[in-house]
Chains A and B, each alone.
Chain A
Amino acid sequence: MSNGPEKQDWRTRLVSWVDGDREPKDQSLFVMEQRHRRRFLPTEEEHERREKTRLHRFFNWYPVAAVFIALTLVTVLLGTVLQMPLFGQESNPINNEVAEHYLEHGEEDTGSSNAVTAMILSYRGFDTLGESCVLFLAVTSVMMLLLKDGEDEDGKLARRSAREADQEEHGDIILKRTAWVLTPFIFLFAIYVLLNGETSPGGGFSGGTILGAGLILFSSAFGQRNVRVIMDRKTYSFIRTFGLMLYALLYGAYIFFGANGLPNYLAGMALLIDLAVGLVVACTIYGFYALFSTGEI
């Protein structure tokens, strides 16, 4: 081997380089980049100028890169989508025995003829429990971010609420009249959707959303103070937590009693579960509105 000693040499040099020898014997091999030591520290404005050009360069190249990435993504997705099973065919792999079971045994298993409701409240109730928890946590985190407390911009708070009261006093007459007529019907419809989730389109989520929308209409027309008469922050928190707990308890009991094919005296359980979900959803929707509009509930 003619390159034996050479290799040895190479190795010792590498070792010494790793050990911290700044000047390897053969500079052309290991010095990746030769740079003069910086003789001066950049001044303040020089530094600022450099940062600015860096930022500018980033913002100049960013759109190009973004468009490129987006186009690539869309192309890949289009290619994927065109390979998928055709739309609306009965023989698609998604229409398998699971869906068949839900449709054919849903009514006797859960007592609800709406297969979607049967699915989300009975077969996959834990999934819905998770969803309720997500909504609950979302309201909680928004509360943490937006809720006004005493030390928050002290003087501002009082002034703003005074101005608000003024605005509420002379609210929009069209809005007020419309809300006066519509709110009861919206609540009625919400209750109808909530209670009929098992036999018609609807259920906890849609009913709860309608309920929340009714609350939002009411509070935007007559001011949040009037909502707070029936539901202050304590009541609100109580209802929110109560809905979630009720759901967890009922669904736990539902599983405990054997889930499918409940005895007759427990047939109303699915309805109660539906109501619990509705409560959580309604509180979430209204809570978001209240927190974002005034920062209070």
Chain B
Amino acid sequence: MLETILQDRFAVTAVILFGIGFMNLMLQQDLLKKVVGFNIMDSAVFLLLASLGYIEGHTAPIVEEGAVNASLYINPIPSGLVLTGIVVSVSITAFSLALIQRIYRRYGTIQLRELLEKAKKEED
């Protein structure tokens, strides 16, 4: 068990990071901090994905002349997939920050509790 954890350390770290991010997302009252939590979750996923492609003792996938042999390099596919994830994460972060800025302009606060009360009051 302990050996498995040690061997899979990146995956375990990713899960713990994911948990931290998720708690942050759920428990913070501040919308900005929620976004931070969301980003921590993203990083956890990227860590997990990127660590999947690693092979012990192999080098970065930049093929050198005369050494065209797949057993020398790590797996390039997860790196490419992580790139997609990072792009989407950046876009979503920017979009939610813009929304938060609009919310602040409208209600004058980004604390979730006050926001709910204010929105409810305006609704009535």
User: Is A15 close to B, CB under 8 A?
Assistant: no
User: Is A172 close to B, CB under 8 A?
Assistant: no
Chain B positions 30 through 56: 1 when the CB is less than 8 Å from some CB of chain A, otherwise 0 = 000000000000000000100111111
User: Is A199 close to B, CB under 8 A?
Assistant: yes
Residue positions of A touching B, CB distance < 8 A: 51, 55, 59, 63, 66-67, 69-71, 73-74, 77-78, 81-82, 84, 86-90, 92, 94-95, 98-100, 102-104, 106-107, 113-116, 119-120, 124, 127, 130-131, 134-135, 137-139, 141-142, 145-146, 199-201, 205, 284, 288, 291-292
For residue A205, which residues in chain B have a CB less than 8 angstroms away from its CB? Answer: 83, 87
Contacts A/B (CB < 8 Å), 22 sampled: A55-B120, A74-B22, A77-B19, A81-B15, A82-B11, A94-B53, A98-B77, A103-B63, A103-B68, A104-B68, A106-B63, A113-B63, A114-B62, A115-B62, A119-B76, A134-B88, A135-B91, A138-B95, A145-B98, A201-B60, A205-B83, A205-B87
For residue B77, which residues in chain A have a CB less than 8 angstroms away from its CB? Answer: 94, 98-99, 102, 119
A36 to B63, CA, bound (A): 80
Contact B94 A77 (CB under 8 A): no
Contact A82 B26 (CB under 8 A): no
- Residue from the set A59, A71, A142 with the largest chain B CB neighbour count within 10 Å: A142
A200 to B60, CA, bound (A): 10
A120 to B82, CA, bound (A): 11
A276 to B103, CA, bound (A): 35
The interface on chain B, measured as residues whose beta carbon lies within 8 A of the other chain's beta carbons, has a size of 60
Contact B76 A102 (CB under 8 A): yes
For residue A51, which residues in chain B have a CB less than 8 angstroms away from its CB? Answer: 120
Nearest chain B CB to A100 CB, angstrom units:
4
Contact A292 B101 (CB under 8 A): yes
Contact A141 B95 (CB under 8 A): yes
Contact A55 B117 (CB under 8 A): yes
A75 to B16, CA, bound (A): 10
A86 to B54, CA, bound (A): 11
